[in-house]
Structures are given as structure tokens and as C-alpha cells.
Amino acid sequence: MELPEILFNPLVRGIIGICLMSAIFLGAMAAVWFERKLSADIQQRYGPMRTGPHGLLQLVADAIKLFTKEDIIPRNADRLLFVAAPIMMMGSVFLMLVAIPFGAIIINGNTYPIAATDMDISILYIEAVSAISIIGIFMVAYSSNNKYSLLGAFRNFARMIGYEVPLGITIVSVAIMAGSLNIVEIAQAQHPLWFIFKQPIGFIVFFIALMADMGRLPFDQNESEEELIAGWITEYTGMRFGLGFFAEYIHLILGSMLVVLLFLGGWNLPAVLTSNNILGIILPTVFFLLKVVLVMLFIIMLRWAVPRFRIDQVVDISWKKLLPLALLNLGWVIALGLLGV
């Protein structure tokens, strides 16, 4: 059996899915360490230093702490929803993971994405299942029987409704320009010119809306510790608390991958660099992951460089600024298509 045929074998696809799941967990651990160290550099402090070299074992120490803490469920909480909510949030991550490629292998000029599955409408699927995490947040807040948690959930809904619209319009614009809803074909359509250069307004709208969708600062109104203690996750302890934030970091990685796949060219490289089969197996994925890391570092840096917006400012930005810009970008893409550009 030749290598391309092996890659389409269901058993091999399943093994790839398990490997990607392991890789995303390791990547989330690395993202936590990156955030702590980068924030320490921005604020001129050391960050974690005493648990392993340069604090590399800090997350292991945190995991031991969370696993050994008492698992408390409030007396008046809805126990079923309280227990199921973190599972719902992690389930959203795994469903997204199914369709997002982590790179590609190029053999004899043919591209084979490293993904558990290859869907014709993968970008719509990813956008749909990413919203499941929002249901998980509401389950956390409602089941906790806590007013601060419920306020955090309602803030999350206000943000979600406002930013999903420009996010969806921008994704449609990208799909129109690529002529496909398949995220692999969208990435391949950006050779040799990335979509960030063809629709810069769309990139800005998508990036801001994605930041809001992930709940990253300055859009973390569902937590806003100064006002809501810890917001939606106030009543959670131990590993349930840890899973909630771990899911956020995995969403950070997957969101960074979407930015690279939709606007920054994915794994595309000049043909001369992938003409050799050995280089074609290694370089595209390395190039893709390098861009993902750079996007992640930029998102982490923004957390410590931009103050949190008020909830009314968040709503104004989405409806009064991003939505008109998203519609303008859609018109621009349609005009380019009519002109055959």
C-alpha cells in the first residue's frame, strides 16, 4: 500500500486523531507556560522559576494541586448540569479538533493534510461546534446557583451574539474568495498570495471577533475578576476549575490555527522548498506551526498590553464598528470575484 493510500485508511485516521489530541494537550500546557513567562517579561519580573528549569514543571505542580484539592459542589446547585458542564466544554474542543489540520505532507507535488478527517464544509462545521463551549459556560453558570456566575454567563451571551455575526460574515468572505468551504482548500488557495493581503479589513474583523469569541482580554467580561469574583466559574474547585481554563487555552491554540489557515497561508511554501519528498514531509508542518506560535504569542501579549473593555463598549464595538466593516469586506470580496481578480 502506497503512503497516500495509507493516509486515507480509517484506522490510520483514527491514530492521527489520537496523536493530534495528545499534541493539543501538550500544546495547551506549553501555552500556559508561554503566557506566564511572556507576561513576566512584559511586566519586568521573572515568573515561574523554582519548579524545574525556568519553571517548566510549574504546570505539573499546578495539576497536582488541582487534583488533590477538594471537589466541592454547592448544596443548591443542579448536580447533573454542574458535573456535565466541563465535559461539554471539553467536548467542543474535541469536535473542533476533528476538522482542523495541524499541517500537511507534500509528496510528489500532492498535498495531504494532517487531520483526523477532511470535510467539504469543514469551516462551517468548526464554527458551529465552537459554539458548544458557550452552552457549557451557561451550564456552569446556571447550575452553580450563583448570581456572579449568572451575570458572567449573560455577559458572555451579549458578547457572543454581537461577535458571531461579523465572524461568520468574514468566514463567508474567505470561503467566497477561495471558492470552497473546505478549510484545506482555503489554505491551498492562498498560494502564492495570502488572504491577509487580499482582504486586510476582513483579517482585522476576524481577529478581533475571534479574540472576543475566545474570551481573551480585553474581552473577558464573563470573568472580570474585579467585578464578578471569577464570573461563570466562581463556584468550581479542583480539577473542574482546571478543566474550564484548560479548555480556554486549547481554544487559544485552535483559534490561532484558524487565523493561520484562513489568512496567513497555512502551510504553503515555495515549490522549490518542497520539491524534495523529505523536505515536503517536514517543512510544511514546521512552517505552519511556527506561524501558529507567533500568532499565539501576539494574542498573549495583547492580554497584558490592552485594558479590559466595559460590557457596553464591547457591544458597541461589535454592532457599530465590526459589523459594518465585515459587510464592507464582503462587498469588496464580491467585487473582486466579479472582476475576476
pLDDT digits (tens, 9 = 90+) for 280-311: 788 888 899 999 999 998 988 888 888 888 88
Whole-number pLDDT of residue 262: 93
- Give helix 323-339 / helix 200-214 axis angle, nearest 10°: 140
| Average confidence (pLDDT) over 76-96 | 84
- Give helix 122-130 / helix 132-144 axis angle, nearest 10°: 10
The x, y and z cell numbers of residue 243, run together, are: 478543566
Q: What is the CA radius of gyration of the chain?
A: 21
Q: Is the peptide bond before 113 cis (omega within 30 degrees of 0)?
A: no
pLDDT tens for each residue of 185-234 = 999 898 888 999 999 999 999 999 998 888 777 877 666 666 667 677 78
User: How much is the pTM?
Assistant: 0.88
Separation CA 212–CA 55 (nearest Å) = 30
Number of H helices, E strands in the chain: 16, 2
The x, y and z cell numbers of residue 13, run together, are: 485516521
Cα torsion angle, 219, 209, 86, 250, sign: negative
The highest-confidence range among 1-5, 44-48, 54-58, 332-336, by mean pLDDT, is: 332-336
Least confident of 58-62, 148-152, 225-229, 308-312: 225-229
Per-residue confidence band for 172, with pLDDT thresholds at 50, 70 and 90: very high
